[in-house]
Amino acid sequence: MSTYFVTGATGFLGSALVERLLARETCDRVYVLVRPASQDKLDRIAARWPRRELVMPVLGDLAEDGLGLSDVDRRRLAGGIDHLLHLGAVYDLTATEEHNSAVNVDGTQRVVDLAAELAVSWLHHVSSVAVAGEHRGVFTEQDFDLGQRFASPYHATKFAAEQIVRSQHAVPWRIYRPAVVVGDSRTGEIDKVDGPYFFFPTFARLAKLPSRLPLVGADLGATNVVPVDYVVDAIDHLAHAAHPPGRTFHLTSPRPQPITEVYNAFAAVAGAPTMAFSLPGPLSAPLRALSDRGLRALSRAAERVPGAKLVFERLGVPAEALPHLTLTATFDSTATQGALAGSGLRVPELREYSDTLWRYWRDHLDPDRARRPRSGGALGGRTVMITGASSGIGRATALAVARHGGIPLLVARRAEELAQVREEITSAGGTAFTYPCDLTDAEAVRAMLKDVLAQHEAVDMLVNNAGRSIRRSLLRSTDRQHDFERTMAINYHAPVRLILGLLPHMTARRFGHIVNISTQGTQVGTPRFAAYLASKAALDAFTRVASAEAHGNGITFTTVHMPLVRTPMIEPTKVYRRLPAASPEQAANLVLKALIKRPTRISLPVGTLGAASYAIAPKAVDRVMNVIYRLGAV
> Which pLDDT value is given to residue 315?
54
Q: What is the DSSP letter of 515?
A: E
Separation CA 464–CA 559 (nearest Å): 10
Nearest to 184 by CA among 2, 48, 64: 48
Domain boundaries, the chain: 1-178, 369-631
Contacts of 478 (CB under 8 A, 6+ apart): none
Taking only the tens place, the pLDDT of each residue in 177-225 is 999 999 999 999 998 877 788 888 888 888 888 877 877 665 667 899 9
Q: Do domains 1-178 and 369-631 have the same CATH topology?
A: yes
> Which pLDDT value is given to residue 575?
55
Separation CA 371–CA 559 (nearest Å): 20
Exposed, middle or buried: residue 411 (CB in 10 Å: 0-12, 13-18, 19+)?
buried
- Helix and strand tally (H, E) in the chain? 23, 22
Tell me: pLDDT of 357 over 90. Answer: yes
CB 343 within 8 A of CB 175: no
Q: What is the signed CA dihedral for 405, 407, 412, 414, rounded to 10 degrees?
A: 80
pLDDT (average), residues 574-583: 64
Of 190-194, 369-373, 530-534, 630-634, the least confident: 630-634
Tell me: pLDDT of 291 over 90. Answer: no
Contacts of 283 (CB under 8 A, 6+ apart): 218
Separation CA 192–CA 208 (nearest Å): 25
- 1-178: CATH topology is Rossmann fold (3.40.50)
> Which pLDDT value is given to residue 322?
54
**Which pLDDT band holds residue 578 (cuts at 50, 70, 90)?**
low
In angstroms, the first-to-last Cα distance of the chain is 89
CB 27 within 8 A of CB 51: yes
Q: Which residues of 169-178 are buried (b: 16+ CB within 10 A; e: fewer)?
A: eebebbbbbb
Sign (positive/negative) of CA torsion 392, 394, 396, 399?
A: negative
Tell me: pLDDT of 309 over 60. Answer: no
Greater confidence (292 vs 571) lies with: 571
pLDDT (average), residues 363-388: 88
Separation CA 229–CA 20 (nearest Å): 10
Long-range contacts of 293-296 (CB under 8 A, 24+ apart): 295/322, 295/323, 295/325, 296/322, 296/323
Of 38-47, 96-105, 353-362, 387-396, the least confident: 96-105
Rounded to whole angstroms, the maximal C-alpha distance in the chain is 102
Sign (positive/negative) of CA torsion 256, 260, 261, 265?
A: positive
**What percent of the chain clears pLDDT 70, i.e. is strictly above it?**
88
Exposed, middle or buried: residue 382 (CB in 10 Å: 0-12, 13-18, 19+)?
buried
Separation CA 352–CA 208 (nearest Å): 24
> Which pLDDT value is given to residue 277?
62
For 369-631, CATH number out of 3.90.1310.10, 1.20.1050.10, 3.40.50.720, 3.30.1110.20 equals 3.40.50.720
CA distances from 387 to 378, 400, 414, 468, 625 (A): 20, 14, 11, 12, 32
Instruction: Count Cβ atoms below 10 Å from residue 343 Cβ, excluding itself.
Output: 13
Instruction: Give all strands (DSSP E) within 186-246, no chain letters.
Output: 215-217, 222-223, 225-227
> Which pLDDT value is given to residue 302?
47
Length of the chain, in residues: 634
Q: What is the mean pLDDT of the chain?
A: 87
Tell me: pLDDT of 249 over 90. Answer: yes
**Which pLDDT band holds residue 427 (cuts at 50, 70, 90)?**
very high
Separation CA 526–CA 610 (nearest Å): 10
* Residue 129, CA atoms < 13 Å, CB-side half-sphere: 28
Helix/strand/coil for 517: strand
Catalytic residue among 4, 91, 532, 576: 532
> Which pLDDT value is given to residue 371?
81
CB 537 within 8 A of CB 607: no
Separation CA 500–CA 464 (nearest Å): 13
- Catalytic (active site) residue 532: yes
Taking only the tens place, the pLDDT of each residue in 463-503 is 999 988 887 878 888 889 988 899 999 999 999 999 999 99
Tell me: pLDDT of 459 over 60. Answer: yes
Amino acid (1-letter code) at residue 455:
Q
Q: Where are the alpha helices (DSSP H) in 51-147?
A: 71-77, 97-100, 106-118
Taking only the tens place, the pLDDT of each residue in 92-119 is 666 677 888 888 999 999 999 999 999 9
pLDDT (average), residues 584-591: 93
Q: What is the CA radius of gyration of the chain?
A: 32
Q: What is the signed CA dihedral for 359, 363, 368, 371, rounded to 10 degrees?
A: 120
pLDDT (average), residues 58-87: 93
Nearest to 366 by CA among 212, 484, 190: 190
Taking only the tens place, the pLDDT of each residue in 151-175 is 888 899 999 999 999 999 999 999 9
pLDDT (average), residues 591-605: 94
- Kindly state the helix (H) or strand (E) to which residue 449 belongs, with its residue range: helix 442-455
Tell me: pLDDT of 298 over 50. Answer: no
Exposed, middle or buried: residue 213 (CB in 10 Å: 0-12, 13-18, 19+)?
exposed
Is this structure's pTM higher than 0.95? no
